[in-house]
Amino acid sequence: MKAQYDVVIVGAGPAGLSAAIFLANNGINPIVLERGVYPGSKNMFGGVVYGQILNKIIPNYLDTVPIERLITKRRISFLSTDSSFSFEHFDDSHRLPPYNGFTVMRPAFDKWLATEAEKAGAKIYNGVTVSGVKYVNNIVLLEIDNGSEHISANTLIAADGVNSVIARKGGFRSSFSEKEVSLGVKETLYLPKNEIDKRFKLEGNEGIANEFVGFSMNGVNGGGFLYTNYDSISIGIIAQIASLKKYAISPAELLENFKGHKFIGPMIKGARTAEYSAHLIPEGGYKALPKLVGKRTILAGDAAGFVLNTGINLEGVNYAIASGIAAGKTIHNAYLKNDFTDASFSYYSKYLDEYNVLNNLKMFKNAGNIINNPRLHRLYPDLLNSVVKFMFNGNENKKIRYRHVLHKYYVKRIGYKNLLKDVYNVIKGLF
Ligand SMILES: Cc1cc2nc3c(=O)[nH]c(=O)nc-3n(C[C@H](O)[C@H](O)[C@H](O)COP(=O)(O)OP(=O)(O)OC[C@H]3O[C@@H](n4cnc5c(N)ncnc54)[C@H](O)[C@@H]3O)c2cc1C
């Protein structure tokens, strides 16, 4: 490697590779340092990419992106011990380009993005772990593999994910707190394509994204997910670290509970485990954002905490791509003006908003009050199922008005004060 680079990007995930493609497309060839043996080798996620942002850097991305299935059905299910209640949405237009969302496997997706970055002119070094950063006389000094080597750079993009070494050692933030981080545990289960189609009523390359609230989490803040791939299913749980500790339960146990629920069991019956993986997610949202720029350095993707979790949407890859592009634009602009001051780098916020990163996070900054409300995980799914069971019950001779059912099941058990508080938080968080 040479003595000093114009732009070094740490991390070849969606954020780092998107920054690399933007810069290389605009005449600045960056280097990307990736600790994995190849981009994507260490990466996992639930499975759905809301990928339209990709057309800003790869206009014909739909011709080559390795899609497993298109997401044409979305379902949210509330689980109690032995029942479930779901909302399902199908939209025919989601079968058509540019598609609302699609499932991918991260090793294939990240590898594809890396090939695009190399085609554009970026150089990727795999198997290189950045262990520290220092700033000396306007030069960024990166420590590699615990000091066995050093690299110097004029500018730096930290795209090294939720545990970002650059963010922590560069003084941008300390580690996220246990309330701001969740652990995702996922199993990939092989099942023949025709069996998946039959079980989920899908055709061709259609797929479903199903999220779950309630029973299986044993009260822990978080939820379950199930996404269909071409001939496999991604199934997992996401649990807040602070809440896991409080309830002293392991994520593996929660995943087993979830898979064993009577509503889930038949969906995955006979499927063979292909892979088991775990990863952290920064879920603090807008309120937990760190300092985003300074000292010729920009934080992008999970390193900056750009994940939107509203309880209805869990989106990180699209924000990683968008922030990678915005970081690339900021550095491109700095080179055009030959201005590498913090003032020049502060344009990053403006570029982030061109892709609705900061303003979306800001809009849903209070969603944490909903997703971390213990009643959402311990009480509401049970009550919802009780009420719906009552409504669908054909054996009652004497019917009761629904308002009395709601009063009996909801208001009495939750209490007026809590109910009003929860309704207020939902309105404030989402509407
Ligand atoms: C269980 C789970 C489910 C999720 N589901 C979804 C979903 O369905 N849809 C969605 O949009 N988002 C989802 N997300 C969030 C999404 O995965 C992330 O927001 C996204 O991957 C962030 O991209 P990134 O490039 O910032 O970071 P990452 O994807 O984490 O990439 C960081 C890269 O940096 C490398 N790296 C890290 N440290 C170093 C170092 N010191 N030196 C060199 N290289 C380093 C890593 O190997 C990695 O390649 C999910 C996350 C999890 C954990």
Write out the two tokens for 268.
């995955």
3-class SS at 356?
coil
Q: How far is the CA of 83 from the centre of ligand 1 (A)?
A: 34
The DSSP bridge partners found for residue 183 are 239, 280
- Mean pLDDT, the chain, as a whole number? 94
Lowest mean pLDDT among 243-247, 287-291, 351-355, 392-396: 392-396
Position 4 scores a pLDDT of 87
Position 201 scores a pLDDT of 97
Stronger pLDDT, 116 or 175, i.e. the higher one: 116
Is the pLDDT at 397 greater than 70? The verdict is no
Is the pLDDT at 400 greater than 80? The verdict is no
Is the pLDDT at 90 greater than 90? The verdict is yes
Stronger pLDDT, 144 or 374, i.e. the higher one: 144
Strand intervals (E) in 40-129: 48-49, 69-79, 84-90, 102-103, 123-126
Confidence tier at 390 by pLDDT (50, 70, 90): confident
Alpha-carbon gap, residue 109 to 103, rounded angstroms: 10
Q: How far is the CA of 43 from the centre of ligand 1 (A)?
A: 6
Q: Which of 13, 232, 187 is CA-nearest to residue 112?
A: 13
Is the pLDDT at 207 greater than 60? The verdict is yes
Q: Atom 51 in ligand 1: which residue has the minimum CA distance?
A: 45
C-alpha R_g of the chain: 23
- Per DSSP, the residues of 247-263 read HT--HHHHHHHHHHSTT
Prediction pTM value: 0.96
**pLDDT tens digits for range 403-429:** 887 787 777 788 888 988 998 998 888
Give me the count of residues in the chain: 431
3-class SS at 161?
coil
Q: How far is the CA of 57 from the centre of ligand 1 (A)?
A: 19
Atom of ligand 1 nearest to the CA of 47: 8
Q: pLDDT exceeding 90 applies to what percent of the chain?
A: 80
Confidence tier at 42 by pLDDT (50, 70, 90): confident
Is the pLDDT at 3 greater than 70? The verdict is no
How many CB atoms are closer than 10 A to CB 250?
Answer: 12
Average pLDDT over residues 38-44: 94
Question: Does 111 contact ligand 1 (Cβ within 6 A)?
Answer: no
